């Protein structure tokens, strides 16, 4: 079992700080802060990328970098869980497209946050390959 822990401190307004082992983040609705769904989508992208990277490394397939864009819509009903979430991955200068497509598909199955969100939302993804400077 792997226990994880973060701490948060808020004032009476929606202004606070998330304290995590590797860094802190300001939370709120003002410029320069993160809202709850910003953090959720960021957690999804971070988990998905970490899992994708692990699979790509095991397959010994390289690329230069990956840009991820996470988009989603909340339901109007209460509780207002997510209706759908879409992840778009731009893989820059890939070595083997098919292998990376397979790696990303595996990442969606093995990423715990992707799996968790999929229990309430329709999850979709797309992967696009970008060749910079060619």
Residues 70-123: tens digit of each pLDDT: 999 999 999 999 999 999 999 999 999 999 999 999 999 999 999 999 999 999
H or E element in which residue 127 lies:
strand 122-130
State the pLDDT confidence band at 132, using cuts at 50, 70 and 90: confident
How far apart CA 134 and CA 13 sit, in angstroms, is 51
State whether 47 and 87 are in the same domain: yes
Tokens 């998330």 appear where? 18
Instruction: Indicate if the pLDDT at residue 11 is higher than 90.
Output: yes
CB 87 within 8 A of CB 28: no
Pair 11, 71 in one domain: no
Structural domain including 119 reads: 36-130
- Same domain for 42 and 10: no
For the chain, the residue count is 134
Residues 85 and 49 placed together within one structural domain of the fold: yes
Residues 120, 83 contacting (CB under 8 angstroms): no
pTM score of the predicted model:
0.92
What confidence tier does 16 reach under pLDDT thresholds 50, 70, 90? very high
Q: What share of the chain is helix, strand, coil (3-state, %, to 5)?
A: 30, 35, 35
């Amino acid at each position: 079992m792997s226990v994880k822990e973060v701490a948060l401190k808020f004032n009476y307004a929606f202004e606070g700080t998330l304290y995590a082992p590797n860094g802190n983040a300001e939370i709120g609705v003002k410029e320069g802060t993160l809202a709850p769904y910003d953090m959720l989508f960021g957690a999804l992208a971070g988990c998905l990328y970490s899992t994708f990277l692990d699979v790509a490394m095991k397959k010994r397939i390289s690329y230069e970098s990956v840009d991820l864009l996470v988009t989603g819509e909340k339901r109007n009903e209460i509780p207002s869980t997510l209706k759908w979430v879409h992840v778009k991955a731009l893989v820059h200068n890939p070595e083997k497209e098919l292998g990376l497509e397979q790696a990303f598909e595996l990442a969606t199955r093995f990423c715990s946050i992707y799996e968790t969100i999929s229990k309430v939302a329709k999850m979709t993804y797309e992967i696009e390959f970008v060749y910079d400077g060619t």
